[in-house]
Amino acid sequence: MKKIGLLGGLSPESTVEYYKIINSEVRKVLGGCASAELIVESFNFREIEKMQFEDKWDELADKLTFAAQNLERCGAEHIVICTNLMHKVAPAVQKNISVPLIHMVDSVAKEIQRRRMNKVGLLGTIFTMEEDFYSKKLQDEYNIETIIPNRDDRVEVSRIIYEELCCGIIKEHSKQKYLEIIDKMKGDGAQGVILGCTEIPLMISEAGIEVFNTTKIHAMSVVEKILEDCLVIQ
C-alpha cells in the first residue's frame, strides 16, 4: 500500500471528507479493518485565508512546499493538496518535491471526459472562478470549456464559501442561491457543473444537472494510487 501525504486544513471541513472517503474506499476493496496509510499536514485556515486575500501567493507556495517536503521526509510517496484553490500553487510545490503530486484538475478533467462532456460550469472561490489556473488547464490539456457566473453571482458564491461553508455552516437560503446560479449556467450551455471548492459538496449533491463533486473525485484518484500495487499483488 502506498503511503500518501495530505496537505489539509484548507479547510478542515473538506479534509475530514477526504479522510473518510479514502479510508472507506480502501476498506471496501481490502476488507476487514483495512485503512489507508496517510500522513496529514494540517494548516490553520484562518492564516491561509488572510494570505489569499492579501495576494501573498508566493508565500503560500513556499508554505505548502515546506509542508509537502515534510510529508516526503516522513515517507509520503505521493502528495495531495486537499482543496481546489490551492492548486494555484501546485506547479511550485511539484517543482520542489521529488514525489508526484496527484493534481485535482487532472482528476476532475478525466471524470468530465468519462461522462463525454466538453463544456461545464465552474463554481468556487472568487480566485478559482476569475483566475485561469483551473480553467486554462482544463482547456489547454483536455479541451474542456468552462463557464463562470456573472460578477455579482461570483461574489456571492465566494462569500458563502468563506463565511459559511468553511466554518461548517450550511444554510438553506445559500443552497437555493447556488441552485439558481447553476441553473443560469445550464441555460448558458453548461452540460454539467464543477463544484470547484471542496466545501461546496457539503451543501450541494444534486442540482438538476450533472455535478462534479471534486472532493470525491480527487479522493477516489488517491484511492486508486494507494491500491495500485496492492491490487497487482492480489
Q: Exactly one of 197, 198, 214, 215 is catalytic; which is it?
A: 197
From CA 16, how far away is CA 20, in angstroms rounded? 6
Is 167 a known active-site residue?
A: no
Q: Which residues lie closer than 8 Å to 151 by C-beta, 6 or more apart?
A: none
Max Cα–Cα distance, the chain, nearest Å:
53
Is 215 a known active-site residue?
A: no
Q: Exactly one of 15, 65, 82, 83 is catalytic; which is it?
A: 83
| Among 140, 78, 135, 143, residue whose Cα is nearest residue 113 | 143
CA dihedral 70→73→37→212, nearest 10 degrees, is 50
Residues in the chain: 234
From CA 140, how far away is CA 158, in angstroms rounded? 25
- Strand 192-195 with 210-213, pairing: parallel
Amino acid at 126: I
Give the catalytic positions in this structure.
83, 197
